[in-house]
Structure 1
Amino acid sequence: MKHAWWKESVVYQIYPRSFADSDGDGIGDLNGITAKLDHLKTLGVDVVWLSPIYRSPNDDNGYDISDYRAIMAEFGTMADFDTMLAGMHQRGIKLMMDLVVNHCSDEHAWFQAARTSRDNPYHDYFIWRDPKPDGSPPTNWEAAFNGSVWEWNEPTGEYYLHMFSKKQPDLNWENPQVRAEVHALMRFWLDKGVDGFRMDVINMISKPWRADGSLPDAPVVREGFLQPGFALTCNGPRLLEYLREMKAEVLDHYDTITVGEAPMATTQQGREISNERSGALNMLFQFEHMDLDSGPLGKWDLKPLDLRDLKRTMSRWQDELAGEGWNSLYLSNHDQPRPVSRFGDDGEFRVVSAKMLGTWLHMHQGTPYVYQGEELGMTNVKFARIDDYQDIEILNMYRVATTERGQDPAQVLASIHAKGRDNARTPMPWTAGPNAGFTGGKPWLKLNPNYPQINAEQALADPDSVFHYYRRLIALRHAHPIVVYGRYDLLLPEHPHIYAYTRTLGAERLLVVCNFSHGQPVFELPADIFHSGTELMIANYPVPTEPASTEDLRALRLRPYEARVIRLRA
């Protein structure tokens, strides 16, 4: 297996709107990030992934871009960006930008020109289709943010495709001029010193055209409603061709880190795209493990996580990419709820379960991602009123569910409390003081009310905090190549509460044992793993005196949400 700096790195995601506000307008900005870089240096991360900071009307909080080469005014200026980037590099931290090129904003100059006439040179930058003979939209697809994926454009008498908001028209990657534009804007940022890209829904850029240029209808899941079109638009026939072209034209000429967001991706696609010899990107964000607590109707259809499902999913990605590709490791980001509320216990066992989840994740093979506030053990929020939320997905879903589908508003809010994206977007709590030290003004989104107890100042002062535990986890990864390059092997695949696995590199072996429950299950070391001694590497409870030998591992009673990483000595 080839060694690479991006395999050995830990990435920290910043959602700029919610990280730190320097000018008192209630919105996080670039100068706020610069002022907090020592927090990241102390944590020990190697790379920052920065969610979009480009000029945008903010229909989807910056994921609708109107100018790819300009900074959103409320975030600062290009000079502020240069200062921030220099501050990161001075601290040995690289910067990965968000590349959002499946779609742009309907206020981008390209689309403003494209919608005026079918003959406009920019018209073919986007995806247009005539209505069906009965005047209805070209397909029955539902957009990610509800409603049809097709929006009528009166000046040209046709529909344009938008897989997300109607203000986010999809780009037509069949047009080589569009691809050249994307390559040029990538070079613009790489030449400024940026170190790579996280590519938003990149596996949607190739659409599944029929021979006649039409798109297929989606299978009917719910009678009388629009049907989810995502499964039909992910992993299209020319995806790898487009990504390989991007690699040849741009990425091969720079030393970058690249990760592609890839909903609905399979392990086979993960191997193909991240293959070191024939692929195009370093790694993918796959969603399979993020969908395990969703029912057949999608993310808002809540169901409990079965740990055995998580084992099967994670182990398949670990096993099938081993030696062929590379995994990204994450439990949270700007689109996901807080993991301690989702997979742990955000009450009595908040701290130990947050540490357990971090241990479980970081000890896998792959590049770990830490989302802002995860290192503090931040929790979900339960705003009582829909008006307290800002996210377009939440607001559209609530409107459709309550007014069009007649669902109980209280039940809809319960789903939002569990899965809503604003759970991850509440402002970063820096102190227990006014507005959590995030801003001197009114925060753009309400703070999590538990910020007096959960904040960075408190975490840094407490040697037993989640923050200092994450520091130790990251340091462990940096110090021991086995954590990066060791082989993964699952133990106890059918145990309902214990997730245990080994990592092996040469003669060295680590044992990772995690209890995902409130109970106290007994871990029994399988008889075929025999070693004469052990060494505790890290644990989320006060360091136990045992195990002194593998005999003690034959009946190790775990405390609630306990995690241990143990070196097994031959």
Structure 2
Amino acid sequence: MIDDLWYKNGVIYCLSVGTYMDANGDGIGDFSGLLRRLDYLHGLGITAIWLMPFQPSPNRDDGYDISDYYDVDPRYGTLGDFVEFTHGCQQRGIRVIIDLVVNHTSDQHDWFRSARRSKDSPYRDWYVWSDKKPANANTGMVFPGVQKSTWTRDKQAGAWYFHRFYDFQPDLNTSNPHVQAEILKIMGFWIQLGVSGFRMDAVPFVIATKGASRRKPVEQYDMLRSFREFLQWRQGNAIILAEANVLPETDMEYFGRDGDRMHMMFNFHVNQHLFYALASADTKPLAKALTATKPRPATAQWGLFLRNHDELDLGRLSKPQRETVFEAFGADKSMQLYDRGIRRRLAPMLGGDRRRIELAYSVMCTLPGTPVIRYGDELGMGDNLDLPERGCARTPMQWSTEPHAGFTESDRPCVPVIDNGPYGYEHVNAAKQRRDPNSMLNWTERIVRMRKEVPEVGWGDFRVIASRNPAILIIRYDWRNNSVLFVHNFAEKPLEISFNVGLPDDAGNLLVNLLTEDHSRADEAGRHKLLMEAYGYRWYRVGGLDYLLKRSDIDTMEPRTRRQSS
């Protein structure tokens, strides 16, 4: 069971093929280039690669406007190149997850071209139409300030079509059984080519009822179950990782109370409160967010992340909390996006402060769930605010001090490489950091390796340990007769703290530090006293390092009570 649920204790790495590595010198990354970099990713220790869209596309929204679901965009290579890539991943024990963008298509997709030509087209009902402009056409935009409406009149069709996103991305009528059958066929196609799962884009919109007469969309959760059932039959260990920025009270609707819907979901609720904690040094709201999102089926998992390819969405925070985060990490209007988020990468948001960057990654790797790393963040890459909207944090990977950071031999890369300032590729690149034992890259490699050695985080039950100082977050995990404990100081100053591990008898008397030789023994009252440096973190295993000898083969309800040896 543990091996089958590989996603419970994995480390996922997200990248865009077009900005990772260009092998043929045309300025655009491709699968041949990505294949050449698999040993780098294998060395980093990641267990799965999540690919952003690479199917044929007019590329007006970074590939999220797909015009053919059954091919590879020629800019990135061929289906043969893709299969070579997945084979290379299998050889290295790395799984592949791909974006599944089925809420909408490109307006250049053959389905939409056919649908707009005639009301009698077999694809007409694959999209959402209205003979007149709906009353709610100017509401519900995903990109406020950039997007003007969710309905657009098509002259050729003589009707209005619905688009939750940009007007060149008409929504599929996902309530149509033919569309649902096609989604299953798309998943089956890529599974056959070596894919182990899908990151499903915009899931709440996919399952919502759509149409001009729908004042309030209704979520069709059973659709998620049909997706899950198809995967279980086609390939038992394939997963769906859902992008669903929803309130905690609806989480179980997406997971399924019996664990029969989505395997994983991104934890947006915790992500936003984590950034509030980083901005304010107040972890209390984060602890509440962890408690609110704690209920989930045993086979389900959260995806934990810091930054992704979109803006940092702060919509779930209160207005004062949101203003605190904006002030700390994106005070300038050029850093903000869509009236709700910050479009920067992590390192510049944290002022390039290595202590804070390490703290943030240490927290992410020790919160309940599976960590998801954004390409380039293992180096501390920066952003280019001169690029429009989300493009500022989607610049090419910085490999070396060679021209264009070793990304391409072309003089015209598809996106400008960051070439000046403290985050320019002369200063921030993989080759330079590989030679420095204290670099961000080598630190990330060590932390990834250690994260995989604490499966308690992925599998176990957690408890937030009380601390008198709101800047301190202490979490303990228990699983199969083993326990681990993590301490983080979000404050910019050193803090003395005291706490009890909270295990029966003397089980929590010894804390063995997994990252340094700084171990801790409890006093006679059973309390540990620590001096935490500014932005400091500790990873402890409770008891001795003979924990594998004590691990149970089955899940037990009670944490161990036996005396631990040192």
- Note the C-alpha offset of 1:106: 0.4
For 2:289, give the aligned amino acid: T
Equivalent residue runs for 1:372-411 within 5 Å: 372-381=375-384, 383=385, 388-390=386-388, 394=389
Gaps of 5+ in 2: 312-343, 544-563
SS at match of 1:114: helix
Preserved contact between residue 427 and residue 445 of structure 1 (Cα < 8 Å)? yes
Which deviates more from structure 2 when the two are superposed, residues 329-338 or residues 486-495?
A: 486-495
Equivalent position to 2:270, from 262, 282, 289:
289
- Note the C-alpha offset of 1:359: 1.7
Counterpart in 2 of 1:398?
A: none
Measured against aligned partners, the alpha-carbon deviations of 1:263-299 in whole angstroms (never above 9, x if no partner) come to 332334332332483422211124223445999xxxx
Which deviates more from structure 2 when the two are superposed, residues 60-69 or residues 506-515?
A: 506-515
Counterpart in 1 of 2:185?
A: 184
Structure 2 Cα separation of the partners of residues 561 and 127 of structure 1: 51
Asked whether 1:198 is paired with 2:175, we answer no
Which deviates more from structure 2 when the two are superposed, residues 522-531 or residues 369-378?
A: 522-531
Asked whether 1:476 is paired with 2:450, we answer yes
Equivalent residue runs for 1:65-80 within 5 Å: 65-80=66-81
Shift of the 86–360 alpha-carbon distance from structure 1 to 2, 3 Å rule, reads same
Preserved contact between residue 492 and residue 535 of structure 2 (Cα < 8 Å)? yes
Counterpart in 1 of 2:373?
A: 370
Counterpart in 1 of 2:208?
A: 207
Q: How large is the Cα RMSD of the aligned pairs?
A: 2.8
Asked whether 1:537 is paired with 2:510, we answer no
Shift of the 278–8 alpha-carbon distance from structure 1 to 2, 3 Å rule, reads closer
Preserved contact between residue 270 and residue 283 of structure 1 (Cα < 8 Å)? no
Measured against aligned partners, the alpha-carbon deviations of 1:533-560 in whole angstroms (never above 9, x if no partner) come to 221112xxxx354535568974422222
Structure 1 Cα separation of the partners of residues 375 and 259 of structure 2: 33
Structure 2 Cα separation of the partners of residues 258 and 80 of structure 1: 23
For 2:213, give the aligned amino acid: S
SS at match of 1:310: helix
For 2:219, give the aligned amino acid: P
Asked whether 1:255 is paired with 2:256, we answer no
Measured against aligned partners, the alpha-carbon deviations of 1:7-46 in whole angstroms (never above 9, x if no partner) come to 1221111111221112222221111111100011101111
SS at match of 1:289: helix
TM-score, normalization by structure 1: 0.81
TM-score, normalization by structure 2: 0.81
Shift of the 459–54 alpha-carbon distance from structure 1 to 2, 3 Å rule, reads same
Shift of the 178–506 alpha-carbon distance from structure 1 to 2, 3 Å rule, reads closer
Q: How many residues of Structure 1 are paired with residues of Structure 2 in the alignment? A: 499
Asked whether 1:497 is paired with 2:498, we answer no
Measured against aligned partners, the alpha-carbon deviations of 1:276-328 in whole angstroms (never above 9, x if no partner) come to 83422211124223445999xxxxxxx968533223213322x2226373211
Preserved contact between residue 271 and residue 324 of structure 1 (Cα < 8 Å)? no
Equivalent residue runs for 1:262-411 within 5 Å: 262-275=243-256, 277-292=258-273, 306-317=282-293, 319-321=294-296, 323=298, 325-336=300-311, 337-342=344-349, 345-347=350-352, 349-350=353-354, 352-381=355-384, 383=385, 388-390=386-388, 394=389
Equivalent position to 1:244, from 217, 225, 230:
225
Asked whether 1:556 is paired with 2:530, we answer yes
Gaps of 5+ in 1: 217-231, 296-302, 395-420
Structure 2 Cα separation of the partners of residues 93 and 324 of structure 1: 21
For 1:496, give the aligned amino acid: P
Structure 1 Cα separation of the partners of residues 204 and 470 of structure 2: 34
Shift of the 532–499 alpha-carbon distance from structure 1 to 2, 3 Å rule, reads closer
Structure 2 Cα separation of the partners of residues 466 and 554 of structure 1: 30
Equivalent residue runs for 1:164-175 within 5 Å: 164-175=165-176
Equivalent position to 1:428, from 391, 397, 402:
397
For 1:435, give the aligned amino acid: H
SS at match of 1:52: coil
For 2:534, give the aligned amino acid: P
SS at match of 1:159: strand
